[in-house]
Structure 1
Amino acid sequence: MSDRKTTPAEKKVFNNLLEQYIYQGLPTDSIVAKTDFTIHNLRDIHHELPYTSIVYRTNFFSFVFVKDAFGRYTTDEQVFSTCPGTIYFTNPGHFKSFEWREIKDVYLVTLSESFLKENVHPKIFEEFPFLLAETVPPRVLKPEVFAEFEQLYLHIEKEYNAASPYRTRMIGNLFVVLLLKIKEYFWEDYNPIYEGNRSSQIVKTFKRTLEQHYRDLANGKAEKVFRVQDYADAQHLHPNYLSNVIKSKTGKPVGTWITEKTTAEAKSLLQNSAASIKEIASQLGFTEATHFSNYFKKQTGISPVLFRRQHGKATS
Structure 2
Amino acid sequence: MKEKEPTSKTLADLYEMMGLPVDLISTESGFTIHSLKETFKDLPFKSIAYRPDYFSFVFVKNAYGKYIIDEMGFDINPGTIYFTNPGNYRSFEWSEITDAYLITFNEFYLKEHVHPDVYQDFSFLLTEIVQPRLMLPAQFADIEQLYRQIHKEQLGKSPYKNKIIGSLFVALLLKIKEYFWQDYNPIYEGNRSSSIVKIFKKNLEEHYRAIVFGQENSLYRVQDYADLQHLHPNYLSSVIKTKTGKPVSMWISEKTVAEAKSLLHNSEASIKEISFMLGFSEATHFSNYFKKYTELTPVAYRKLQNSKS
Relative to the length of structure 2, the TM-score reads 0.87
State the match for 1:182 in structure 2: 176
Contact 1:193–1:199, Cα closer than 8 Å, also in 2: no
State the match for 1:161 in structure 2: 155
Query: Are residues 81 and 261 of structure 1, via their aligned partners in 2, closer, same or farther at CA, if it must alter by over 3 Å?
Result: same
For 1:201 and 1:144, locate their aligned partners in 2 and report how far apart those are by CA, in whole Å.
34
Cα drift, residue 228 of structure 1: 5.0
- 2:136 corresponds to 1:138: no
Contact 2:57–2:83, Cα closer than 8 Å, also in 1: yes
Q: Which residue, 7, 19, 22 being the options, matches 1:13?
A: 7
Q: Which residue, 205, 216, 226 being the options, matches 1:222?
A: 216
Match runs of 1:1-316 below 5 Å? 10-32=4-26, 34=28, 36-195=30-189, 199=193, 205-227=199-221, 230-231=224-225, 234-235=228-229, 238-247=236-245, 255-310=249-304
Cα drift, residue 10 of structure 1: 4.3
Cα drift, residue 49 of structure 1: 1.4
SS in 1 for 2:193: helix
Cα drift, residue 306 of structure 1: 2.9
Contact 2:237–2:247, Cα closer than 8 Å, also in 1: no
Query: Are residues 100 and 193 of structure 1, via their aligned partners in 2, closer, same or farther at CA, if it must alter by over 3 Å?
Result: farther
Cα drift, residue 11 of structure 1: 1.0
Q: Which amino acid aligns with 2:238?
A: N
Query: Are residues 311 and 243 of structure 1, via their aligned partners in 2, closer, same or farther at CA, if it must alter by over 3 Å?
Result: same
Contact 1:42–1:105, Cα closer than 8 Å, also in 2: yes
Contact 1:91–1:132, Cα closer than 8 Å, also in 2: yes
For 1:306 and 1:90, locate their aligned partners in 2 and report how far apart those are by CA, in whole Å.
50
Query: Are residues 234 and 246 of structure 1, via their aligned partners in 2, closer, same or farther at CA, if it must alter by over 3 Å?
Result: farther
Contact 1:41–1:106, Cα closer than 8 Å, also in 2: yes
SS in 2 for 1:11: coil
Cα drift, residue 215 of structure 1: 1.5
Contact 1:281–1:292, Cα closer than 8 Å, also in 2: yes
Q: What CA RMSD, in Å, does the superposition of the two structures yield over aligned residues?
A: 2.6
Cα drift, residue 136 of structure 1: 3.4
Query: Are residues 134 and 283 of structure 1, via their aligned partners in 2, closer, same or farther at CA, if it must alter by over 3 Å?
Result: same
SS in 2 for 1:48: coil
Contact 2:58–2:103, Cα closer than 8 Å, also in 1: yes
Deviations 1:90-135 (A, max 9, x none): 1111111111111111100111100011101221101111000013
For 1:204 and 1:64, locate their aligned partners in 2 and report how far apart those are by CA, in whole Å.
28
Contact 1:18–1:35, Cα closer than 8 Å, also in 2: no
For 1:202 and 1:238, locate their aligned partners in 2 and report how far apart those are by CA, in whole Å.
8
State the identity %: 55
Gaps of 5+ in 1: 1-8
SS in 1 for 2:66: strand
Q: Which amino acid aligns with 2:208?
A: Y
How many pairs does the alignment contain? 301
Structure 1 range deviating more: 219-228 or 33-42: 219-228
Deviations 1:177-234 (A, max 9, x none): 0001101111112224435995276665444332211111123433432345644554
Structure 1 range deviating more: 9-18 or 114-123: 9-18
Structure 1 range deviating more: 253-262 or 42-51: 253-262
Contact 1:134–1:192, Cα closer than 8 Å, also in 2: no
Query: Are residues 94 and 202 of structure 1, via their aligned partners in 2, closer, same or farther at CA, if it must alter by over 3 Å?
Result: closer
For 2:43 and 2:194, locate their aligned partners in 1 and report how far apart those are by CA, in whole Å.
41
Query: Are residues 128 and 312 of structure 1, via their aligned partners in 2, closer, same or farther at CA, if it must alter by over 3 Å?
Result: closer
Gaps of 5+ in 2: none
